[in-house]
Amino acid sequence: MPEPRTWQLTAGSAALGLALAATAVTLAGPWDSGQRTAERARAAAAQSPGGTRHAPAPAPPHRPAPAPSAPGVLPALHGPAPATRPADLAAVLGPLLADPGLGPLRAASVVDTSTGLRLYGAGDTTPMTPASTTKIATVAAALSALGPDHRLTTTVTAAPDGRAVTLTGGGDPTLDPGRLKTLAADTARALTARGHTSVRLAYDTSLYTGPALHPIGPNENLAPVVALMTRGGRLDDSRDGPAPRTGDPAGDTAAAFAALLADAGITVTGDPAPGRTPKAAPLARTYSAPLTDLAERTLTHSDNDLAEALARHTALAHKAPASFDGAARAVHDELARLGLPVTGARFADGSGLDRRDRLTAALLTALLTRAADPAHPALRPLLTGLPVGGFTGTLADRFGTAPAGAGLVRAKTGTLTGVNTLAGTAVTPDGRLLAFAFLAGRTLSPYEAQPALDRLSAALTAPR
């Protein structure tokens, strides 16, 4: 039986983990929670989407706001407590990994983030289809290549004669009607100051190249990947998850911008048409939130549109084509540059919707461990953006069969037909922060596979 002082330290460590999780929930943002139904279409008939609807987020300020506090949200839980012993962990995880609900293809990796010690591994170097846990790699590459304060910018530029303006897409799928209205008002003021009250409108999407449609084709999971869109091309009032999508996000955004210019007193002659941006300083611009915020949103709500955008901006940072192929190469190369184990990894997209993606459990835990390293604060949103088990994002309605993990497990989900994955972090009773990745293939039902994955991750938080 532990001495009173030891018991107090142990309890304090566990409480600290819960407090940190609660803090991260508060700071993660006002986006809707619930499992991404887009990834579990096969299960939609039997289970309605979970999660709590929150009030809409206030429109972001026109001027850049200060960088968020993500680096301080979840400091690594390092300390003098003894590390979990690999032999003990194997005795616990082995039987859980053998659950028939996980199908015949399974891989697991568990690492102590404070020491880098591999505590458990089973098939952890075998490349498998990762589904949406791919976003962990995409976000890490973007943060590394672009920096945490990077913002996506949409601009308006006037022709030399002032008779035409071009709305230029900066690859920001978070552009919303409020910011678009402010951009139109700023443009109208600049045009009026120059003595112009009537213009033609063009729109430029040349930042991206290659096919706009994902290989899965038109789908409610993802809008056409173009450099100019509003609200991810959604045609309803949803904020995340599956939704009807426009087939022409750029054209729709340009038409909306023309109407907003008219409301601001500028006559737009003719219909908006594709064009190239004049070589001049922009009249007006609008900024996305900092990349730290975008990274967290991508992970918390498994935002496919943002993931594809971040992959393309990683390509641009590598001076590669901003296409599916260019982004795939850039993400791979950026992770290799960081010295991560990319052997066998394949990135066919940034979102994980493509079944040709391949990652290893060892790569996922290496990414998470690197993010917990105080020497790499730029990668910290990789941890703070992870959904909290039983509370937020795609884990809001999980851990019903593994309540011990609620609040102590943070993880990115992955769900395709026959593929179920979970990768993230868990706080142990002695206050350690463990990184884990559990991948399952050829699963028969998410209703069997997901609870099995939850029990595996929850087991890391249980006393031994």
String of DSSP letters for 315-375: HHHTT--SSHHHHHHHHHHHHHHTT---TT-B-S-SSS-STT-BB-HHHHHHHHHHHHSTT
Three-state secondary structure call for residue 5: helix
Residues in the chain: 464
Residue 434 in contact with residue 411, Cβ under 8 Å? Answer: no
Domain boundaries, the chain: 74-148+292-459, 153-288
Cα separation of 195 and 166, whole Å?
18
Q: Which of 132, 144, 288, 351 is catalytic?
A: 132
Three-state secondary structure call for residue 210: coil
pLDDT at residue 19, rounded to an integer: 40
Tokens at 385, concatenated: 């953006």
CATH number belonging to the domain at 153-288, selected among 3.50.80.20, 3.40.50.2300, 3.40.50.1820, 3.30.360.10: 3.50.80.20
Is-catalytic flag, 302?
yes
Number of helices (H), then strands (E), belonging to the chain: the values are: 11, 11
String of b and e for 375-388 (b: at least 16 CB within 10 Å)? ebebbbbbbbbbbb
Three-state secondary structure call for residue 19: helix
pLDDT at residue 217, rounded to an integer: 87
pTM of structure:
0.83
Which run of H or E residues covers position 161?
A: none
Q: Does domain 74-148+292-459 have CATH number 3.50.50.60?
A: no
Residue 71 in contact with residue 371, Cβ under 8 Å? Answer: no
Tokens at 197, concatenated: 């009250």
Q: How far is CA 59 from the centre of its chain?
A: 20
pLDDT tens for each residue of the chain, 464 residues long: 333 333 333 333 333 343 434 333 333 332 323 334 333 333 333 333 333 333 333 344 444 443 333 333 343 344 434 446 888 899 999 999 999 999 999 999 999 999 999 999 999 999 999 999 999 999 999 999 999 999 999 999 999 999 999 999 999 999 999 999 999 999 999 999 999 999 999 999 999 999 999 998 888 999 999 999 999 999 999 999 999 999 999 999 999 999 999 999 999 999 999 999 999 999 999 999 999 999 999 999 999 999 999 999 999 999 999 999 999 999 999 999 999 999 999 999 999 999 999 999 999 999 999 999 999 999 999 999 999 999 999 999 999 989 999 999 999 999 999 999 999 999 999 899 999 999 999 999 999 999 999 999 999 999 87
Is-catalytic flag, 132?
yes
DSSP class of 245:
B
Sheet containing 433-441: order of strands: 118-122, 105-112, 433-441, 419-427, 409-416
Q: For residue 68, report the phi and psi dihedrals to the nearest 5 degrees.
A: -70, 175
pLDDT at residue 78, rounded to an integer: 41
Q: Which of 33, 135, 144, 457 is catalytic?
A: 135
Is-catalytic flag, 445?
no
pLDDT at residue 412, rounded to an integer: 98
Q: Which of 13, 109, 144, 302 is catalytic?
A: 302
Cα separation of 228 and 182, whole Å?
16
pLDDT at residue 88, rounded to an integer: 86
pLDDT at residue 28, rounded to an integer: 34
